Amino acid sequence: MLAPASERGYSVSAWYAQAESMVRHMIERGGRLGFSEFLAQLRENKGFDQAIQAAYSGVWRDLADFERSWQRSLQ
């Protein structure tokens, strides 16, 4: 998709803001060790659902569960 440079810049800024918000939520709810384990699982080529289950058992079941939790935190 072609978009004016100003719109592309806005989209990129919004994406980084959203990513930062999601990472912050993961760390606040599951701690730095949980986040570290999540990244380790991804490095081992586990899918997002598997990585979340392994790193955040008892917090979130899968990516959809995490996303619902994150979205609720924004309200």
Q: What is the pLDDT of residues 64-74, one digit of tens each?
A: 999 999 999 99
Distance separating alpha carbons of residues 48 and 51, to the nearest angstrom: 5
pLDDT at 13: 84
Model pTM greater than 0.85? no
Return the amino acid letter for 59. V
Q: Concatenated DSSP letters for 20-43?
A: HHHHHHHHHHHHHHHHHHHHHHHH
The pLDDT tens digits of the residues spanning 1-57 come to 445 556 666 677 888 899 999 999 999 999 999 999 999 999 999 999 999 999 999
pLDDT at 8: 64
Token pair in block for residue 28: 């606040």
Q: By the 8 A CB rule, do 49 and 58 touch?
A: no
pLDDT at 67: 96
Residue with tokens 């949980």: 34
